[in-house]
Structure 1
Amino acid sequence: MSTQKVWFITGASKGLGLSLAKQLLAQGQKVAATSRNLSELKDAVGVDSSDFLPLSLNLTNEADVQLAVANTITAFGRIDVLVNNAGYGLTGALEELSDAEARANFDINVFGALNLIRQVLPQMRNQQSGHIFNISSIGGFAGGFPGFGIYCATKFAVHGFSESLFHEVAPFGIHVTLVMPGYFRTNFLGAGSLNTPQKEMTEYTNVRESQQAHQNSINANQPGDPEKAAAVFISVSGQAAPPFHLFLGEDAYGLAGQKIALVQQEMEAQRALATATNF
């Protein structure tokens, strides 16, 4: 990259966030990276440089988020790219997950991202430039995954507010890209990133089968390479007109195509009935 940028990446101690942070630093970019565990973050990135600002961050604490953004601007003078990457998975049928379990997933995956956006936007508006990557999931576009209803709901929410945000901030020269990855070989399906129901119901055999498949056969066998995914982020950030929709991975493209075809098929089947509704 010919132009040095300041990146702010959440959830950077592992997975896609870590791959992205390390690649950017290797290319001479400035990176503010966050994690709940500061020492874990420093060890994972493994770089001692004035271009790297490790930050301990509780995404659900607005004052904490405000301080992290302020410290980044103090250190680097600006924020060019925000990557809302932090989040975790949650399995469980809608009936068996408690209100507390569902709300906790929304707190991190949805409201945590919104907290960052609110704090970063004043700086980007003043600059009249910026790029926000909101990491959703193919499960935020096609929700046909038994036992992932709440997680998919959080990612559908990210999709919804990102689409509005795209239009709201365009007049300020700010780009928004919604990233919808498929399966990438990170620790996302491991015990530290995928929560399971506190009270499982034996009736939901299809949910248990899906849960076991994700924890066992799919985990560590995902087709996507996180290093290649990080390279896509960097490439898209350099485009003059970056896309809003960014499906990531061959599997994501396949699932998105199936969902689009199904919607078109159902729309056509009901067109005569469903459009005869005007006065």
Structure 2
Amino acid sequence: MAAKGFPGDVSSVESLQTAIIAVIKTYGKIDVLLYNAAAGRPSKPTSLSVDQLVEDFKISVAGALTSVKEVIPFMENGTILLTGGGLALQPYADYASLAIGKAGIRNLAFSLHQELSPKGIYVGTLTIKGFVQEGTYFSPENIANTFYSMYENQNETEIMFEER
């Protein structure tokens, strides 16, 4: 099967819905959703405006929820994977917005797992406790392999991706 792109703006509910509807019209169903979008501007909490925080949250968390709500009617025993981050567990004031988003995505993953697992849909989050960088433990390839393992095994709601 050839790869095909479906552009959409994750900060816009309408744009994201349009993109997902196009995927469903093309393929008829969704087997796996991997949500990897995040936003977070470098800023301490008291330097952030409410509008900036809300805009980043829309991308990091609300876009994930919109995506999930759009795909679950077209999933049967599907998989939903969300990209988390170590800032959810150990916030860093200089990246407050990103840390809040990662905490939100972690909470969303656990809540969705509770709701959707009885319906045969696996939800998991990969909490990446480092900076993604080629040639390191945190390489995109290692992360992709871990996501694939989560998809295959479907036995943990959260995997901590960290060097030991």
TM-score for both structures, normalised by structure 1: 0.55
8 A Cα contact 1:134 1:178, kept in partner? yes
CA deviations 1:13-66 (Å, max 9, x no partner) are xxxxxxxxxxxxxxxxxxxxxxxxxxxxxxxxxxxxx52120111112222222
Cα distance in structure 1, aligned partners of 2:87 and 2:136: 15
Structure 1 distance, partners of 2:104, 2:17, is 23
SS in 2 for 1:56: coil
TM-superposed deviation, 1:222: 6.2
Pairing of 1:55-70 with structure 2 (within 5 A): 55-70=6-21
CA distance in 2, matches of 1:222, 1:228: 9
Q: 2:82 matched to which residue of 1?
A: 134
Task: Give distance in 1, aligned partners of 2:120 and 2:97.
Answer: 33
Deviations along 1:218-256, whole A, 9 cap, x unmatched? Answer: xx89652111111111122111x3310111121xxx6xx
Deviation of residue 149 (structure 1)? 1.9
Question: In 1, distance between residues paired with 2:88 and 2:61?
Answer: 12
* 2:106 aligned residue (116, 135, 159): 159
- Rounded to whole Å, the distance in 2 between the matches of 1:157 and 1:235 is 23
Whichever residue aligns with residue 249 of structure 1, its letter is: E
Matched, 1:247 2:121: no
Question: For residue 182 of structure 1, what is the aligned residue in structure 2?
Answer: 129
Residue-pair matches, total: 164
SS of structure 2 residue aligned to 1:55: coil
Q: Could you list the per-position Cα deviations for residues 147-180 of structure 1 after superposition, in whole angstroms to 9, with x for gaps in the alignment?
A: 1222111111111121111010111100010111
Q: 2:4 aligns with which of 53, 59, 68?
A: 53
In structure 2, the residue matched to 1:116 is: 67
Contact 2:38 2:101 in 1 (8 A): no
1:234 counterpart = 2:164: no
Gaps of 5+ in 1: 1-49, 187-219, 255-279
Match of 1:74 among 25, 32, 36: 25
Letter in 2 for 1:53: K
Larger radius of gyration: 1
Higher relative contact order, chain-length normalized (CA < 8 Å, sep 6+): 2
Instruction: Give 1:78 shift.
Output: 1.5
Identity %: 24
TM-score by length of 2: 0.90
Report the AA paired with residue 54 of structure 1: G
Contact 2:60/2:102 (<8 A) preserved: yes
